[in-house]
Amino acid sequence: MSTNAPDLAELERRAAERGPVYGEGAHIVCDNLVRIYKTDGIEVVALQGLDLLVDAGELVAIVGASGSGKSTLLNILSGLDVPTAGVARVAGSDLLTMAARERLRFRREQVGFIWQQTSRNLLPYLTAEQNVELPMRFAGRSRRERATRAAELLGMLGVGDCAGRRPQELSGGQQQRIAIAVAVANEPHVVLADEPTGELDTATATEVFAALRRVNEELGTTAVVVTHDAQVTERVDRTIGIRDGRTSSEVRRRSADDGTRTAEEYAVLDRVGRVQLPKAFTQALDMRDRVRLNLETDHVGVWPDRKTGRKADREESDD
């Protein structure tokens, strides 16, 4: 062995010198997250190295084409599904290494989930109030505490008058607002919603999204919403685009002092320096296989490779 090899103390010193760990301080951390489904010997890579950071108290929307991996991501973050590889952490809980008992507790107490299908969120034979109390019963809360919190949440979400009614006696919008109350009953760190307004008309969808926003603002619950609803994406500050199982783009919206909203689109730069160019850009310039890069003082230029770009071929044959 070379006498120059670093000893243990030196290796520890070097490790301590490295910068902060990726996602340190973030509430939700996905680092190179992979989920492969195996059915009948066929492998489907639903997530292929997805990176995502969400801060505590944020409300973010996730968008993407059908099959891009949105539901897979939410199922992992909610503890329903286990990733194949990578890192997934929610409020400090490691979703890869969690034991079964911890996972059950995580699902009951740390996250709340709202499904698109109103019928999936509530038990049909219980009243709205009983539905909200149920997760608190599982968490061992007293009868009085359960009743007080259920009444507070239903009132806050504008469905206090529905407390004694069963789901079939309620509209879709009322059911979804009660589902939000159920999801946050145990004061979870995070609420996850998969197309919560997907089955609703525009006016009702607005009310349901307003209820979700209220929970985010007033209770401080971090919220991640998968949606196709432009109304939702226009109202959140951050919309994350997923393409082929990876985070590909991000739109940040800000409100100016006069109330107007401005949107800026970003591409995601991952830790190893990869950027996914939007399909519209690569198609417009016929970029494929490889591109030429140029470092300028304040930006990086990306050009189609003259040899592979079909337009370039045509231009060359025209010369």
Q: Is 173 in the site for ligand ATP (CB under 6 A)?
A: no
Q: Is 72 in the site for ligand ATP (CB under 6 A)?
A: yes
Could you tell me the CA-to-CA distances from 26 to 30, 58, 138, 253 in Å, in that order? 10, 10, 29, 20
User: Would you state the structure tokens that stand for residue 29, as one six-digit string?
Assistant: 């951390």
Write down the least CB distance from residue 242 to ligand ATP, Å: 7
**Looking at beta carbons only, is 46 or 185 nearer to ligand ATP?**
46
**Looking at beta carbons only, is 84 or 221 nearer to ligand ATP?**
84
Element (H, E) at 33: strand 28-39
Q: Is 189 in the site for ligand ATP (CB under 6 A)?
A: no
**Looking at beta carbons only, is 67 or 220 nearer to ligand ATP?**
67
Instruction: Tell me which of 44, 210, 263, 275 binds ligand ATP, using CB under 6 A.
Output: 44
Q: Which stretch binds ligand ATP (CB under 6 A): 36-44, 133-141, 178-186, 262-270?
A: 36-44
Q: Which stretch binds ligand ATP (CB under 6 A): 38-46, 85-93, 98-106, 185-193?
A: 38-46
Residues 170, 128: Cα–Cα separation, whole Å? 9
Residues 244, 5: Cα–Cα separation, whole Å? 43
Could you tell me the CA-to-CA distances from 201 to 177, 198, 208, 229 in Å, in that order? 14, 8, 11, 11
User: Would you state the structure tokens that stand for residue 233, as one six-digit string?
Assistant: 């994406």
State the amino acid at position 226 in one-letter form: V
Instruction: Tell me which of 31, 32, 60, 68 binds ligand ATP, using CB under 6 A.
Output: 68
CA-based R_g, the chain, Å: 24
Q: Is 185 in the site for ligand ATP (CB under 6 A)?
A: no
Size, binding site for ligand ATP by CB under 6 A: 12
Contact 49, 243 (CB under 8 A): no
**Looking at beta carbons only, is 46 or 223 nearer to ligand ATP?**
46
User: Would you state the structure tokens that stand for residue 99, as one six-digit string?
Assistant: 């034991």
**Looking at beta carbons only, is 84 or 222 nearer to ligand ATP?**
84
Q: Is 117 in the site for ligand ATP (CB under 6 A)?
A: no
Could you tell me the CA-to-CA distances from 154 to 117, 123, 130, 136 in Å, in that order? 20, 16, 11, 14
Residues 57, 52: Cα–Cα separation, whole Å? 15
Write down the least CB distance from residue 62 to ligand ATP, Å: 9
Instruction: Tell me which of 25, 67, 155, 301 binds ligand ATP, using CB under 6 A.
Output: 67
Residues 250, 247: Cα–Cα separation, whole Å? 8
Write down the least CB distance from residue 187 to ligand ATP, Å: 28
Instruction: Tell me which of 30, 33, 70, 110 binds ligand ATP, using CB under 6 A.
Output: 70
End-to-end CA distance of the chain: 62
Binding site for ligand ATP (CB under 6 A): 37, 39, 44, 46, 64, 66-72
